[in-house]
Amino acid sequence: MLQQVPNVVVKAMPPSPHPYVDAFVSLLPALIAVGGGLWALYKYLRDKKYALDKDRVVKEQANKTAEVESQKPFSAKQQEVYFDLLETTSFIATRETENDEEKKGIPEREVAIRHFWVLFWGTLPVVANQDVAIAADAFSVALDHEDDFVPLRNASMDLARACRRALGTAWNIGLQHYDKGDAAIAKSIPERSEFYPQSGPTSA
């Protein structure tokens, strides 16, 4: 005899009072997974950018060091010429003689004048920047009257200031700037040398 199965009544779930909350909760695992993936991607890109930036900085530093090293021979020669030039011009500008007999007995100033022209027409144009070239040209003009010591001393001092600025720039140090000589250097003067743009070829 078959037993009668009782009827089971399945009642429908009542609608949730917060359907959006329920939808969000059901999507939460997927959102967490997506967020984790995005964070991992961000971290990868960030680390990669940091590594590239670090590599770029290292390469820039290496290139700068190589550039400085490659310029050392020129800078050393420029410094040598500048100091040789200044020792020569200062000696010419300050070595006064008392009389003709003393002048004949002390030829060092004439030797210095000849040495200045050797530098002026030879080594100096290779290493001088424009300010130094203009100041050297001004001294050469003053030297046309080699016994007039005041203009020679002023021109020698202006040349020293121009070399000071040039070496301060080359050495990348902040040497104190003096304005006194600037007006004299910038002043329009008869031009003799041809190793800077303002002057034309003439004879010494």
Confidence of residue 72 (pLDDT cuts 50, 70, 90): confident
Q: Which residues contact 87 (CB under 8 A, 6 or more apart)?
A: none
pLDDT tens string 5-19: 566 555 555 666 666
The span from the CA of 119 to the CA of 41, in Å, is 65
The 3-state DSSP class for residue 59 equals: helix
The span from the CA of 125 to the CA of 112, in Å, is 18
CA neighbor of 166 nearest in space, from 177, 157, 179: 177
What is the end-to-end Cα distance of the chain in Å, rounded?
141
pLDDT tens string 125-151: 999 999 999 999 999 999 999 889 999
pLDDT tens string 84-136: 999 999 999 998 766 565 556 568 888 999 999 999 999 999 999 999 999 99
Domain spans of the chain? 74-186
